Chain A
Amino acid sequence: MPRLRVSTGEKMYKCAKCGKEFSKEEMEILPGVKCPYCGWRIVIKLRAPTVKRVRAI
């Protein structure tokens, strides 16, 4: 049974060359970790758009 994949549409990644932002699903169009626009293999993971609570220790 195929696994159900829910796309959040969240742009989690950014290409280090062309600067375009894309989601995990968009990146998986091409095999391996690559920019779906220019094929560059250096991809930056962006900070999640939520606040983060940390203990100051």
Chain B
Amino acid sequence: MRSGACPLVVNVYYRVRERGGVRGVQAPSIAIQKLGENECSMVLKGVTPAVANALRRALMSDVPTLAIDEVVVVENSSVLFDEVLAHRLALIPLKVDVETYEALLSCFEEGRRDDCVASFTLEVEADRQMTVYSGHLKFAGFTGEFSSLAYAEVKPVSDIIPIVKLAPGQKVVLEAYAKMGTGKEHAKWQPVSAVAYKYYPKVTVLKRECGEECRKCAEVCPKGVLRWRGGALEVVEEKLEECAMCRACEEACPDVVRVSWDDTSFIFSIEGLGVLPVSKVVEVAMRRLLKRLDRLINTVEASLNALGGGRA
């Protein structure tokens, strides 16, 4: 387990503290429990539910990614309409390396979205019944100022995403252009498939020595958070985070166990689509969240100054 304060979250805390602070709020921190290429589990501490939800929303809808946005259909004798074909192409997640992503991101943030375009071609003619997959898409390079990025390659996350089925003699020829965008505009630009959080559970054993009747408290727990051993009931610390707060134990032994939660700590579970490493998605989400907070603070301050002649 890697633990420590995330510089970006701490940054938010200090910015808030500089401006008067929030009484009783501890410094925010993040403890990463599991970090893979496409999944991440972490505990966010010292924040309000509003901050946790803001992060969730930023992860879902405010991290720019690349997705097919425009399709030029040259030939399409398949059973699907051009629009349906384009829609299916748009939903294919595209993998891009971090270095190229940073260049694309700065281009997008400068408002030059149409200058950073990745183009693809698709040309398939069926001689027998076949399925056209995402692997048939060929990356044709970047257009505009990115044309110099010869080393960069953008490709679908998976090569076996079905696009359309073709009968013998049917043909699809098209060009597709991928642009940067955010999930709040269209779900095709979402970098993660699922982001969820729950409160950090608190399970308290009120009466440890309660004899044989407490065995059922441990037995009803579907996650194995409680253990009955040697005539005493105890909380299995390493399983505590798995507690679903179903309160089955409370129902079985009302006066022995108490289930509650810590509303300043959240267990986050993030599942990426493979377009970017999840750690990068979290980093960009926080960076963009901070920018929005700065904008909000500056706007509010400017409005107050304008109202109170600088005394506010």
Interface residues of A (CB under 8 A from B): 47, 51-57
Q: Contact at A52–B90, with CB atoms within 8 Å?
A: no
Please determine whether A55 and B69 come into contact, CB atoms closer than 8 angstroms. yes
Name the A residues within 8 Å of B115 (CB-CB). Answer: none
User: How far is it, in angstroms, between the C-alpha of A54 and the C-alpha of B70 when the chains are bound?
Assistant: 6
* Docked complex Cα distance between A55 and B77 (Å): 19
Interface contact B71-A56, CB-CB below 8 Å: yes
Interface centre among A47, A52, A54, A55 (most CB of B within 10 A): A54
Residues in A whose Cβ lies below 8 Å from that of B68: 56
Cβ of A47: which chain B residues have Cβ within 8 Å of it?
75-77
Q: Are A54 and B73 in contact (CB under 8 A)?
A: yes
Contact A55 B76 (CB under 8 A): no
CB distance from B13 to the nearest CB of A (A): 40
B57 to chain A minimum Cβ distance, whole angstroms, is: 22
Q: Which residues of B pack against A, CB within 8 Å? A: 67-77, 82-83, 86-87, 89-90, 176, 186, 188
- Which residues on the B side are within 8 Å of A51 (C-beta)? 72-74
A54 to B174, CA, bound (A): 11
Q: Is the CB of B77 within 8 A of A56?
A: no
Are B76's CB and A54's CB within 8 A?
no
Q: Are B72 and A53 interface neighbours, CB within 8 A?
A: yes
Per the bound structure, the CA–CA distance linking A47 and B72 in Å amounts to 14
> Which 7 pairs, one residue from A and one from B, show the smallest C-beta to C-beta distance?
A56-B90, A56-B86, A54-B86, A52-B73, A56-B68, A51-B74, A54-B82
With A47-B76, A47-B77, A51-B73: A56-B176 Cβ-Cβ less than 8 Å: yes
Assembled-state Cα–Cα distance A51/B89 (Å): 17
Cα A53 to Cα B77 with chains together (Å): 16
How many angstroms between the C-alpha atoms of A26 and B75 in the bound complex?
25
Contacts of B188 in A (CB 8 A): 56
Contacting residue for A53 out of B70, B75, B90, B186, CB 8 A: B70
When chains A and B are docked, how far (Å) is the Cα of A55 from the Cα of B186?
A: 12
Is B87's CB under 8 angstroms from A56's CB? Answer: yes
Contacts of A56 in B (CB 8 A): 67-71, 86-87, 89-90, 176, 188
